[in-house]
Amino acid sequence: MIAVLKRGTTPKQKQHLIHWLKQMNLDVHVSDGEHVSVLGLVGDTSRVDMELLSSLEIVESVKRVSEPFKQANRKFHPEDTVITVGNVKLGGGHFAMIAGPCSVESENQIIEVANAVKAAGADILRGGAFKPRTSPYAFQGLKDEGIRLLVEAKKTTGLPIITEIMTTRSLDLFEDVDIIQVGARNMQNFDLLQELGKINKPILLKRGLANTLQELLMSAEYVMSQGNDQVILCERGIRTYETYTRNTLDLSAVPVLHQLTHLPVVIDPSHATGKSSLVPSMACAAAACGADGIMVEVHNNPSCALCDGAQSLTPEQFDILNQRIQKVREAVK
């Protein structure tokens, strides 16, 4: 960590600061320039409060030169993490297609979609049981019944299942769930992250609406620091000024995260774009830049003409997409 002191800092102030830093078990290297002094802090700087340090009167700026995440850091763990659920592997060259409806609505629905996506090549079944909704008056999901139906679909198809958790209080219900999803709104629900760090199950962690990639990695670190190193990162669009798409899919997250961390990276083009007509293009783009998996919404309802344009693909569209994605993966090998 590097701290640049302001022009005009007195020697006494500088000594105060150095003394304070040394009390934190840091070595301090001083480099005095014409206009500024630079302090190089060596040691375990992950506990140093950068914001406090930056805000001191005499400090011009502070810069980390090593990343504050450790267990998620590729520097200390060069090999890719591979997540295994049932017969499916994700990460380290293994690619998984995660598909299913936005919400679990009924036994018929989830079994039908599960069969359809399995036939079309999906590896993992998704479906929302607990639904985070902006409005308290909107449908909040089938909750425990939704999870029960997902587990039925898993028994029927053999597909591993993934679904979202919203509070530690419902953790018991997730026993037969294969991957627990933490939604964008809970990416910095640190209490939830820490509890999920104590269990032995993969966690799919979605990037928050306006969180940086470093903050995403720090949230992964919250899980990993408690002992659970099975974390999958998921980019699902960030909030920008552009309103044509629901969010702005930040695909550069894929190569950036692959440089910074050994954890696998999944892309969710359905939530990112909010429009099914954009999903196939962005899914192919995700595969082309090296994503370890793609999570898309697929609905059934072949009879419901109304739903054709929703965020969800039909099973037929998913089937075609799946084939194109395999070709794209071949192309960039």
Site membership for its own copies, residue 121 (CB under 8 A):
no
Does the footprint of its own copies cover residue 80 (CB under 8 A)? no
Report the residue number, 79 or 330, with the smaller CB distance to its own copies.
330
Min. distance of Cβ 297 from its own copies in angstroms? 10
- Residues 23-42 touching its own copies, rule: CB under 8 A, are 27, 29, 31, 33-36, 38, 40, 42
Find the binder of its own copies among 191, 198, 316, 320 (CB under 8 A): 191
Judged by CB under 8 A, the residue of 82, 168, 201, 301 near its own copies is 168
- Candidates 51, 78, 87, 200: give the one binding its own copies (CB under 8 A): 51
* Contact between 254 and its own copies per CB under 8 A: yes
Residues binding its own copies: what is the number (CB under 8 A)? 112
Our finding on whether 245 is near its own copies (CB under 8 A) is: yes
Q: For its own copies, which residue of 49, 144, 145, 316 counts as binding (CB under 8 A)?
A: 49
- Within 277-306, the residues that bind its own copies by CB under 8 A are 277-278, 281-282, 284-290, 305-306
User: Of 212, 302, 316, 320, which one interacts with its own copies (CB under 8 A)?
Assistant: 212
Q: Which of 24, 58, 111, 171 binds its own copies (CB under 8 A)?
A: 58
Is residue 320 close enough to count as binding its own copies by CB under 8 A? no
For the chain, the three-class secondary structure string (H helix, E strand, C coil) is CEEEECCCCCHHHHHHHHHHHHCCCCEEEEEECCCCEEEEEECCHHHCCHHHHHHCCCEEEEECCCCCCCCCEHHHCCCCCCEEECCEEEECCECEEEEECCECCCHHHHHHHHHHHHHCCCCEEECECCCCCCCCCCCCCCCHHHHHHHHHHHHHHCCCEEEEECCHHHHHHHCCCCEEEECHHHCCCHHHHHHHCCCCCCEEEECCCCCCHHHHHHHHHHHHCCCCCCEEEEECCECCCCCCCCCECCCCHHHHHHHHECCCEEECHHHHHCCHHHHHHHHHHHHHCCCCEEEEEECCCCCCHHHHHCCCECHHHHHHHHHHHHHHHHHHC
- Using the minimum distance from each CB to its own copies, give the nearer residue, 87 or 136: 136
| Distance in Å, CB of 158 to its own copies, minimum | 29
- Residue 179 CB, nearest approach to its own copies (Å): 20
